């Protein structure tokens, strides 16, 4: 009986160990997962009660909040005040749904309004700043360059490879990929999502996952390096730029535009004023020289003859 008991115990431990290992979140390596019974694996964000749906992408707001929590690994952690780009990652306020709250503030009582991608769209203000609505980011423009290759890629092949990448890896429906243009080595991608059904991923989350992949800081559990293949040849991405376009223009743009126009008008007026002043001075000098010359001639004509 004892050998049989040992065998059963070993099989039980092996099954439990396998179940524990399978309790992970494929789409979020920062999620903390726990086995709460047979076939019941629950994953949540660190220091949060929000459950994570590991069958799809995690919202960008939740991801940014998770990134601000010190990891348990033995490595240096950069605190929030150490972030060099104040408009990059910050510790956001999120709704229970994972959406950004329209107004974001930091520890210094500086507040600003953001769009659905969490990008600042107003000037910074105090705690009294009011953000009436969370403006939707409808378009996202992605520009990237790849390393030069001996053989050029075909435009349809690049478009097909990137469409498959966004669909398979980021769960984005192809209907939201409005356009892909390729002018070696520049690739331009336009994502268009005026409305987001509950069952579809948000293009802002897709862009964030893609950016993390390109920067070799993947959010996926495998943390594998992004590999894009075009007809069997690797498409090695070098640089990446992402631009967000909202349904309504950013409110600080008009102020900057007005300041820019004011500066241009000031320069034009100063230039015109200086030009007019120079012309008046030149005219005065010419008039003065002409009068002197005229007076000299008059004196020569009026002078009496000595004969």
pLDDT value of position 12: 44
Q: What is the largest CA-CA distance in the chain?
A: 160
Q: 65-79, 123-137, 204-218, 241-255: which has the minimum mean pLDDT?
A: 65-79
pLDDT in tens, 87-133: 667 889 999 999 999 999 988 889 999 999 999 999 999 989 999 99
Give the gyration radius of the chain's Cα atoms. Answer: 33
pLDDT score, position 165:
95
The per-residue pLDDT for range 29-80, each reduced to its tens digit, is 888 888 887 778 889 887 677 788 999 999 999 998 888 876 554 444 443 4
Comparing 180-184, 212-216, 283-287, the range with the smallest average pLDDT is: 283-287
Quick one: what percent of the chain has pLDDT higher than 90?
A: 40
Buried b / exposed e along 287-302 (16+ C-beta atoms within 10 A): eeeeeeeeeeeeeeee
113 φ, ψ (degrees, to nearest 5): -100, 145
In 3D space, the residue among 224, 107, 242, 220 whose CA is nearest the CA of residue 171 turns out to be: 220
Q: What global pTM score does this model have?
A: 0.70
Domains of the chain: 137-246 (3.30.70.2470)
User: What mean pLDDT is predicted for residues 16-30?
Assistant: 70
């Amino acid at each position: 009986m004892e050998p049989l008991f040992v065998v059963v115990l070993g099989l039980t431990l092996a099954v439990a160990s396998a179940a524990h290992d399978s309790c992970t979140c494929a789409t979020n390596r920062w999620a903390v997962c726990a086995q709460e019974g047979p076939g019941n694996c629950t994953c949540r964000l660190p220091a949060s009660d929000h459950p994570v749906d590991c069958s799809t992408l995690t919202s960008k707001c939740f991801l940014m909040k998770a990134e601000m929590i010190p990891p348990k690994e033995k490595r240096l952690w950069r605190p929030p005040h150490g972030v060099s780009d104040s408009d990059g990652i910050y510790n956001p306020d999120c709704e229970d749904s994972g959406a950004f709250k329209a107004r974001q503030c930091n520890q210094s009582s500086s507040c600003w309004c953001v769009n659905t991608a969490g990008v600042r769209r107003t000037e910074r203000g105090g705690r009294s700043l009011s953000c009436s609505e969370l403006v939707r980011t409808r378009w996202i423009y992605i520009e990237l360059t790849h390393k030069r290759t001996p053989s050029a890629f075909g435009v349809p092949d690049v478009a097909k490879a990137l469409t498959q990448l966004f669909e398979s890896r980021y769960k984005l429906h192809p209907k939201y990929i409005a356009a892909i243009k390729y002018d070696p080595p520049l690739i331009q991608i336009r994502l268009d999502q005026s409305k987001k059904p509950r069952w579809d991923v948000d293009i802002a989350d897709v862009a964030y996952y893609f950016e993390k992949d390109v920067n070799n800081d993947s959010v996926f559990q495998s943390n594998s390096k992004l590999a894009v293949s075009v007809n069997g040849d690797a498409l090695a991405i070098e640089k990446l730029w992402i631009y967000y376009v909202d349904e309504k223009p950013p409110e600080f743009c008009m102020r900057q535009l007005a300041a820019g126009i004011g500066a241009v008008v000031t320069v034009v007026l100063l230039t015109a004023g200086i030009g007019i002043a120079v012309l008046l001075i030149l005219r005065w000098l010419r008039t003065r020289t002409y009068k002197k010359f005229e007076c000299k001639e008059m004196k020569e004509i009026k002078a009496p003859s000595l004969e």
